[in-house]
Each structure stands twice: as C-alpha cells, then as structure tokens.
Chain A
Amino acid sequence: MTKKAVILLEDGTLIKGEGFGYQSEAIGEVVFNTGMVGYPETLTDPSYKGQILVSTYPLIGNYGVPKNEKDEFGLSNNFESEKIQIKSYIISDLCEHPNHWAKNKTLDEWFFDQKIPGVFGIDTRALTKKLREKGTMMGLVKIFCDKEKINKKDLLAKIKKINYSEICSVKEASTKKPFLYKSGGSPKVVLIDCGVKYSIIKSLLKRNLDVVVVPYNYSFEEIMKFKPQGIVISNGPGDPKDCKETVEVIKSLMKTDIPIFGICLGTELISLATGGNTYKLKFGHMGQNHPCINTENKKCYVTSQNHGYAVDARSLIDFKVLFSNINDNSVEGIKHKTKNIFAVQFHPEASPGPTDTGFLFDDFAKMVYNYET
C-alpha cells in the first residue's frame, strides 16, 4: 500500500505525491541534482546535509542499495559517509524491483531503515524549473496516512521557523575528534573535515599519504602538532561565511609554506581567508556534467559538482582563477600566485561522477612529497 505525501515550498507551492521510506516530516533546503547515476553516493555525501534533494533523472533505485562494505581503512566501499545525509528525496519513478549483483536493499527499505522520508510520482522537471526560476527555496516533505489532514498554514509556519544555517551546518557534518588513516606512506596530510566524503580520504590514501582527519574547528596549533606536510580542506554543507573558525585557521595555515588543497567548500573557505568574497548561486551546480576549463592550458574537463555558493572572481587577492565554468563563467578553481595553494569547486574524487580530474590529487601529492618540513 502506497503512502501519501506532500511537498510544500516556502513560496506556498504544494505538490502531491506518494511516499516511500519512513513515514515522517522533514524540512530542508530544496535543491536539484542532474546526475543520472550514483544515488547511493550522492545521498550519503555530507555536503547535502540539511537539504531536500530533487532528482531530475526520473528512474531512481534501479540497482538498489549495496551493502556497507568497508575497505582496509575502514572506509565504506559504496557510500560517502555512514548514513543518508539528505533530509528527504524527491523523485519521479521509484524502482520497486531493483536488480544488481551488489544489491542489498531496495531504496525504499534503505530510507525506512534510516528513518528518512522520500516522495515519488513527482514531475521533478517541473519542480526543477521552479527552483531554477525562483532560486533555491526551503521546503517541507511530509508522508502521512490517509486520514490525516494537511494544514498548509501550519506547515508553512514550520518552514519559516527553521534557520538555514542551523540545518545545513558544517558543525553537524564534521568529525568530533581527530582520526588517523595510515596508508603506510610517510608524508602526512591533515584534512580539515567540514563534511568530508570518504572518496577524498581514499584518493589521498591511494597516493600513499597518511591522512589525519580533524574537526572543522581544530586550532592551528593543534593541527601543527601533527607536523603536516600538506593540508586538505574538505567539502561540506552550507554557507561558507558560517565557518568563521575554519577561515581563521586557514589564514594561519596560509602563512606557512605547507601545500594546501581545497575541495568544494574548501575553495570558498580559502577565498574568504584571503579576504575574498563568496556569494550564493541562484541555483547551485549540482550534477555530473559540468564543463570546466583550465585557464592556463585551456584543457577542458567534465566535472562532478555540488555547490550552492561560489567565489567572486573580482574579490581574489594573491590568487588567480585556475578553473572556470564554461557555461556560466563562475570560478571553479583558484591557485595562489606564488605558493603551493590551490583549490577546486568541483569534486576531483568523483563518486558519483566523472573521474577526469583525479590527476589533481597527483598534483597535490607531488607538492606534499616535495615539501621539506
């Protein structure tokens, strides 16, 4: 028996659909993603914390959900974190009979187990167009039983009460205490975790770098105790301007000569640390098909992206634009004019998405190996 569901946007738009997963209510920032594969990876990406995700691709759940198998470092092989990070999932066609050799559960079962509500039977293209035109909005998803009455006014009031910065917060997404992953290699990098995806850690380990994952608010002194030969500033949810503590730490780190690599939110934080500015995109870049060009050698890459904020190119000091988005010209990567500091808005670790820019980890590893403490 299918359950009823509604989606309510802060502008008052009410859309009816059918519910799956857990019968409950969720409020979050409604964003869309245009990727056609990789829902297990996407949904567990901590950058989506606090968000309600709309999938433009209509057929979801086709290959089910795999087991949470761990690799030698204890990192999941199939997910980007230990749990579903989104608040809710809005899709068109839910697959009830998935098939894949690695399948463990259906999407419905997975959502139920993790107590997350989902909606299907929605014209996600129509919803996406609305978000595109009106900009990203807050919204509510509610799965309910037949008899229950929906009071739009009450629900709207609930949405209004929620503070975006609270739910899309790095604090929630970050590790509480430091954690060491030993690859067996000698150089050590410290990764400031703002909501890191496992694939970033794995990409570093694969290049024989030991990785210390530290909380987003770990102090400069504490970080330096690890004698890092490289610093990575991870991806994460929300508005970069809410991460004041991290920005301060980065300012100090930038005074050293330690190579620094920022990914996604990391890019925005580095920009802020140098006195640059960030702004909210009308609708975020969320998908696996975003074209970027390297402004130095003019090479083009297809990248996986998931960011709602961007760096203002005009505000950059000591930095130049390394990558730009071919579609809207926004900043997709920056590079320090003299130091070994660079950062990209997209996800070189892919997962989900194209693997074209994985070489950036090689570039970073080279810097780390060359760095003399």
Chain B
Amino acid sequence: MKPKKVLVLGSGGIQIGQAGEFDYSGSQALKALKEEGIKTVLINPNIATIQTDEKIAGKVYFLPLEVKNIEDVIKKEKPECILLGFGGQTALNCGVELNEKGLLKKYNLKVLGTQVKSIKMAEDREKFKETIESAGLKVPKSGKANTIAEAKKIASKIGYPVIIRVAYTLGGKGSGVAKNQKELEKIARIGLAQSMIKQILVEEYLCKWKEIEYEVMRDKNDNCMIICNMENFDPMGIHTGDSIVVAPSQTLTNKEYHKLREISIKVIKLLEIIGECNIQFALDPKSEDYRIIEVNPRLSRSSALASKATGYPIAYVAAKLSLGYTLQEITNKVTEATCSFFEPSLDYVVVKMPRWDFQKFEGVSKLLGVQMKSIGEAMAIGKTFEEALQKAVRMIDKGYEGICDFEENSTKEKIKHEILNPTDMRLFYIAKAIEKGFNTKKITELSGIDEWFISKIQNIVQIKNEIKKYELNKEILLKAKKYGFSDKEISKLKKCSEEDIRKLRKKNDIIPFVKQIDTLAGEYPAKTNYLYLTYNGQEDDIEFKKKKKLIVLGSGVYRIGSSVEFDWCCVNTAWALKKKGIEEVIMINCNPETVSTDFDVLDKLYFEEISVERILDIYEKENPDGIIVSVGGQTPNNIAGELAKNKVKIIGTSFSSIDKAEDRNKFSEFLDQMEIGQPEWKKVKGEKETIEFCKKVCYPVIIRPSYVLSGTGMKIIENEKDMKKYFKKIIKANNFTVSKFIENAKEVDVDGIGYGSKVFIAGILEHIENAGTHSGDSTMVIPTVSLGYYEIKKIKNYTKKIVSNLMIKGPFNIQYLVKEGDVLVIECNLRASRSMPFVSKMIGVNLMELGVDSMLDERKTFPKITYKNYGVKSAQFSYFRLEGASPFSSVEMNSTGEVACFGKTFKEAFLNSLAAKGIKIPVKGDKVLVLVNKNSDCSEIIKKLAKKYRIMTNEDNENDVIKLIENQEIKLVINLLKNQKSKEFIITRKCIDMDIPLITNKELAKVFSEMVN
C-alpha cells in the first residue's frame, strides 16, 4: 500500500561535510514521491535549497532539525511514513533519536527504505564490526573505548599509529590519527565529547592503502547491484571528501574490482539496506588484501558524485525502492527503454576535485587528514585521465589553469615536505617534483599515491615541456589539448594571448567534440542530453538543431560565498525560461552537488567548465539566441566581459552596466554623479597613494580589489602598519578602491529586479550585525525591525535611481550603510544575490521568474508585498572542522551555508534561526560563559542574560572554565573580546571543538539577550 503522506527530513544549513548534494538527493526523492501522487512534508531550514520550494515539496517547514520540532510537525501533519536517508547524517541521526525516544512507535510512523535497525548496525562501529566479521569479512583491527584509559589499552594492543573514529558523526568529525600515546589522549578527549553515545573506536591505521568506494543498491526482493566504484587518488588517511576521486577505479584488476564488488553485495544484504549505501574499502597496494572501512546507509556526497559520474539517478531510484518497487520495475530515465537494474558502463573517466578555502580562515591548519576540510567540489569528465584532471583543476576556480600552472621556486626539500605533508597544494607540488627530477617511484614512496597516477602527471609535465621547447605545430597543439591544456595555459607558456591560441587552434581544425553520457557506453541508443566535451574524439554525438535556445551559466564549484543559493537561482531561471516557451534551455555547470546538473531538470546539460574558452566552444556549436550570466553568482559574471568581447549575446543587463557596477572606481564615480551617498573613497594604484588617502580620511578604512566575490582580498584596516602589511601580501591586483570604513553603522541589503527604467524592490533586509561583518556572515531580518521611515524611503529612492540609470534588466542587489539618518551605498551587484531564495520564499514571489520576464523584455505588473511573518536568515559556520581556525568573523566571509526560519514574531523567527544553525538555545539555569573587555559597554547584555542563566566570565578561574567546557557543562559562550589573547582564543577554539555554541558579535549577543527572556 502506497502511503498518502510522507515526512522527509532535510540536512539543514550547508556545512563542511554536508553540502549541496543533499539538496540534489532530497529534491530527487521528493520528485519520485510526487510522481506517485504522495503528499510530502519537508523539514529543512536551508532556505537556499531547491527542495524547499513548494513546487518540489508539498509542504515545507523551515525549522531546526531537532526532535522537538519534528514531533510538532508529526502531530500537525500526521504523516504515515518518514524518509531518513535523504538528509545526510543530520536526518539519519534525527531518525535514530526519534526511534530511541519511542516517537516512531507513538505516532505509528513507518520508516521507508532502510530501517533504523540497519542504520544502527552500520553506524554503531561495534555492531558493525560484529556483523561484518560474523560473515567472514574483514574490517580493520579495532576496539571501542568509553574512556581515555581504555583507548590507550587498545592502541597499545593494535600498535601505533592508530586512527580514532567517532560514532554517529558526519565527515569524520572528531576523528584523527595518533602516532603515539600523547596524541591519542588529545584526540580521544575530543572524540569522546563529540560522540552522541560517548564512544570512540581505536583502529588499525591502514596508511597508504588504496581507498576504494562502491555505491550499492538493493531492493526489497534482495536484488543487488552496484552503480559504480570510485578510486581515491589520495590513499587512506585523507578523508574521501578531501581526496581527488576518480571513477571508475583505474588501478584495480578484474579480480580486485569484482572481489570488492562481491563483498559490497554481501554487505548490503547483511545490513538489509533498502535503497542505496556507500561502502568504503581499503585495499592493500601489494596484495589482494582488503578491509571494509565503513558503510553509509544513506545517500551521501559520494552517491551524488556517482550519480553524476554515471548518469544513473541514484536518489530517485532509491526513493522508489523505499516505496517497495523493485529495481527492474523502474525505468532507466536515460534510455527510457531499459530498466534501472543494470550496472552503468562508462566510456570516459571522471575526476572529482575538492575545493578548499583556507585563505579565508586565520590560523587554520591546512594539513589534510581524516577530517574533511573542503568546502565544495567540481567534477570533470574526459577521455583521458590527464584531460579530466586538468579540467578539474580549472573547475575548482582557484586561478590555476592546470597542474603545471603553479609558479614557485621551491627547493627539493620544500617539495619533499609538501608531498609528505599533504595540503590543498600537494597535487601542484607533485607536478613540481617531476619538473625537478624526482622519479615517479620516489613520489609514490613519499605520498602513497599509486604510481599510475604519478606517471599520468608525468605525462602532463612532459607535454608542458614540449610546448615550451618546440614550435607550436598542429601535432603538439592537438596533443596538448588531448591532455587537457587550456588555451590560456598554452598562451602563458608561449607568451602570447589566449586569443592567439584559439585562432591557431581553429585554423588547424582543432576543436573539441561533444559526447553523451548514456550509462551504457553506447551499447543501446540513448535519449540523453547529458553532455561533455573532449579532444579525444573523432565526431560529435549529437546534431545541433536550430531552435529558440538560451544558455544559463551555472555557479561552478561551491565555495565560501557561492553555494546552493546560486543553484537555486540557476534552476529557477531555467524553469522560468521553459515556462516562457524557450524551446531549448541549456545549462552549463561542473558541480556534482547541484540540482542544475541533474540531466532531467533541463533540456540539455553540459557538464563543463565555466570558462571563456569552453563557453565559446559550446556557444559556437550550439549557436543559441543568447546566454544568461547573471544568476550563477560571481563566476559567470566575471567572464561576461570576455564573452561580450567575443560577440556572445548576453541576455539581461548589458556588459557595460555590469562593468560600471563591478569596477569599484567606475561605480563610485557613478554614485558621485548621481549624487547618491557613499563613504569617502578614492581610486588608488599603489601603497603610497593609499596611505596618503587614509591619513586624510582617518583609519579605519576598507580596501578592496575590483571584481571580487565574498570579500576576497577585501580588508578593514585599522592603521598604517597593517596597511603596509596588506600590500606585502596582495600581489595580484593593482586596481583598488579605498574607502572610509564607517564604524557602528547598520547594514542593509536590497534585493530586487530591474526592468530597465522600472524597478521592483523585493526585499529590504536589515542586518543584525553592524557593518564590518561580511553580509554573507550576518543575520538578516525581513521586514526591517529598526529602520525609520525616512531611512527606508531614502534607500528606495537610491535604489530606483541606480537601477534606472544602469538600465538593469534582471536581478540586482545593493548594499547600504545606515547611520544616524545617513544612507550610504557600499556595493551593487547586477546579478542574483545570495539572499534571493530567502526573499523569494519570504514574499512568496519567485524572483527568478520576474528576472526572466525582465530579461526577455516582458513587462508585468509588480506583485504587491505584504508581510505576514518575520523571516530571519542566519549564517551557518563550519569552524568545528577547521582545526585552529579563528571563529571571529571579519570582512572576509567565513560561513559555509545559511538557514532561515519564519515566525509570527521577530523573537520566534530569530531564536529558531539561531537554533537551526546549531546554536542550541540554553535552558533556564544553564551556565553561559561571557567574555568581555573591562569597561566595555556590555553590562546590559550580561544583566539581561543573568536573569535566565548562570553567567561565568573571564574573571572566573581559567582551569575551572576549561573543565566545564570539556565536560560540556557550559551551554553557550559569548565572546566579545576586542583583541583575543591566546588564552581566550584557546578557550573559544575549545568550545568549537567541544561543540558548544558560540556567539562572537556584540549586536547579535544583544538581540539574543533581549530575546531569550
């Protein structure tokens, strides 16, 4: 019997280890249920997701994923069933807790798919080990410990190094490798604190074994199959989320591949999983010996990757299986002729590359290990490993054109050190090592990376040398393209322009071919529109028909400052275009964690780089009516100029307007001309000029290079000394804008749609934190709670003036400062903004649809906005993953995601929003630690908090405080110290490691103190 109503749990705000992939899997699951006529109810405070649109989920609750809230929803909605496997570890843990508390039974709620018993069997390491070993299969030698003493005993039995793992955590949180007893103590303490059941596992450390993953499916009739396997470039010891991953495996023989496959199927049967799971193996590089490392009994980052790598819609099928379908009853959506019971065969190779953002975090350790640190990932498809690898390096958008595009004069010692101690740069140092004459064997010895991979890197380096050494004839150019060199990198090597290479290439008829991904390696005809480009081919797979078509550029890799919110914008724009009757809407994106890269979302998907070269390649083949660059965040926006220069038709706001807004100097000049208020500013070239200006306006100042997203290179500078330091660090840019930094000012964001001369102001968002906190890190509320009538009026007038004079056609975002009645403009983006999904959901109007109306020159009457609720959007941080990182926000954005909650009152929305991002609101009588400077004006805050909580301060005995933190007796820390001394930093960092909520902003603390009473 099919259920009538199903409750689905989402994964909450995006954080390291739990990102956009769960929007993708949740959306697919919801779609699968909807197809069956089942009503769905979703709980997920992640406002920026596509799954929280009501056209995907039947009903959405933006609430913190806490059992209390889930119970409330269950009471209200009375669903018959619940889905736990599509919201990451968060949803899984909620499910286990619901079961433990007897709530599933109480409300007669049936779990669809994999049952709680199975989840526990997979997640509880002890049970897991027992189950696996009872079937004669191998897991690493290990023992569980509930105390540090126990941990030590086990470790000495197994022998160091050992790895410490924590039950029920995501992304390896709390895990670590201990080489000796001292390290063990430290890691065990943190691990025990973070475990839901206060238990850790001490395990044999399989250093330098290959790390292999299998994605496995099973239906209720015990039919099993694998979707694909994947091989980690980096061996055991580096979290798979931080590894370069290749699909399918490259260095495994038939025996190894199928041995692990057979074991995978045994394991999924043992655990009685219905749906999908991910199994991780360690494989000895010197024999066929193996260990089963872990099983994720749910959709995961790896399953999203596998889904995109093969074209097999894993989450969709898993959802159907949970309803009781068998694999052979479900159609293969790619062929539409065959069924879902088959194992995809790939005729290409896929490389996934993680994206780290260490530069955003002060004090962070860049070393890669068993805890995941990357923020996002890109996936590249090619016909050779070299081609895919080099594409992937470009896709993560760190400014490298390929693995050889890394200039550093490093000594052999330095290179050796970098290969031995992996960071985000190891790949580049390996290439460097080859250039410096290290042999592949030596590099393998140092890194543990299979020599096969190293020899592929060697191939790339060899070609780089050939390009440099010889005249660029057709043969060398073609070879370079086949090995993934971009025109730009070749041009750098040949000291000419990118355009020269493009011309030469086309003259020699060297153009990439379009290939389909069809899950069957061409064996059967497929209807797929899932495409990529390669130079290792001899023909295009598809014909290019003349149709009314438009291209939408996606957001590319997720990073700090550009995440799932831009995917929401892209997908909604594409859907809106479809509604408008555009025959073919084409998406270009390279991020496997997105909904936009679901091939059935749009007419055509190019899983490709968002680069000028690649966009032109596609543009020239497809010959579309235009291209939309304004909904995918800064990446597509940044290449708008180059594209326009190459006669690409940009739909929406013209490039000259984009330029006027993005170039800080042009923009400031424009504001002056319009007589719109802005902080005192000056366009500066060098250090000297900057310092002169700063003297005039007085510090602090804010300095920023042009064309940046999320504050890269932007900094508030307090004095001349720091300014000098800044110039020492920044080398790349030479075009800056310095402006006076206005202290204690309110910040306000305006989101809207420009219709040329007309404007629709969709939302005025008031920040709780004063200016100085990056807008992506701040807490925002709609409607405004403290702005006056005249301030709002001024903001509206300025907005209208800017929009109509820049002739904005499509989405825009303007940031203002408000101080003592003054309204000053600080920034304007002629593209969709981070807050647009929030605003759209708040006002019930899809801004992307309005944006499309404008871009297609269709006028509409503007919807009238009335606020029934308050909405508060909060930033989601991931400091707990980033060892050593300072949690004090600055103008550089630090948050990895966002959540939003709504409420009849500001208080309700605010407190829920904090809870949703992980600040569990302490209950009356709890201990709260408040760290403030002497003589600061924080006494009001403390007074208010003291009414409800037991306040501890920096006056208390430090050792006592640390002990209370370690025992998690302190339930919240508010740290408002101006200059952090190491002592206080240690305390704060400890809170993060111990999972104690932290507030570091005074305004936020103030509102909090007012709201909790």
Contact = CB atoms under 8 A, between A and B. Distances in A.
* A is bound by B: yes
Interface of A: 15, 32, 34-38, 40-41, 56-59, 62-63, 66, 92-93, 95-102, 122-126, 128-129, 132, 283, 287-291, 293, 298-302, 326-327, 350-356
23 contacts: A37-B248, A37-B258, A58-B348, A59-B250, A59-B385, A63-B452, A93-B383, A93-B536, A97-B440, A97-B451, A97-B458, A99-B450, A102-B253, A123-B536, A129-B541, A132-B524, A287-B523, A288-B343, A289-B520, A291-B339, A326-B328, A326-B339, A354-B343
B603 interface: no
A302 B221 contact: no
B524 A327 contact: yes
Contact of B452 (A97, A287, A351): A97
A101 B286 contact: yes
Nearest to A57: B347
B223 A125 contact: no
Contact of A100 (B253, B383, B523): B253
B539 interface: yes
Given A100-B251, A300-B328, 10 more contacts: A34-B345, A34-B522, A56-B521, A57-B347, A59-B349, A97-B440, A101-B286, A129-B541, A290-B342, A351-B254
A129 B523 CA distance: 7
Contact of B455 (A35, A97, A288, A299): A97
Interface in B790-846: none
B537 interface: yes
B511 to A, nearest CB: 14
Most buried by A among B253, B257, B328, B348: B253
B327 interface: yes
Q: Which of A34, A37, A41, A128 has the most CB of B within 10 A?
A: A37
A302 B343 contact: yes
Interface in B334-363: 337-339, 341-349
A328 to B, nearest CB: 8
Nearest to B536: A92
B384 interface: yes
Nearest to A39: B254
Q: Does more than half of chain B's interface fall in helix, strand or loop, or is it mixed?
A: loop
A98 B452 contact: yes
Interface string B433-474: 000000010000000001110010010000000000000000
A62 B251 contact: yes
Given A57-B345, A57-B347, A300 B538 contact: no
B262 interface: yes
A104 B337 CA distance: 43
A98 B338 CA distance: 36
A120 B334 CA distance: 29
Contacts of B346: 36, 57
B549 interface: no
Interface centre among A36, A59, A283 (most CB of B within 10 A): A36
Contacts, number: 166
Contacts of B582: none
- Count class of interface residues, chain B: 35 or more
Contacts of B440: 97
A289 B344 contact: yes
B222 interface: yes
A41 B342 contact: no
A282 to B, nearest CB: 11
A132 B518 CA distance: 14
B225 interface: yes
A291 B344 CA distance: 11
Contacts of A355: 258, 261-262
Of listed B223, B254, B349, B385, residue having the most chain A CB within 10 A:
B254
A350 B258 CA distance: 9
B314 interface: no
Contacts of B262: 354-355
B328 A125 contact: no
Contact of B541 (A95, A125, A283): A125
B922 interface: no
Contacts of A124: 347
B285 interface: yes
A126 B537 contact: yes
B287 interface: yes
A326 B326 CA distance: 13
B328 A291 contact: yes
B265 interface: yes
A38 B287 contact: no
A35 B343 CA distance: 10
Given A93-B383, A93-B536, A299-B222, A327 B251 contact: no
Given A99-B450, A327-B338, A350-B258, A58 B384 contact: yes
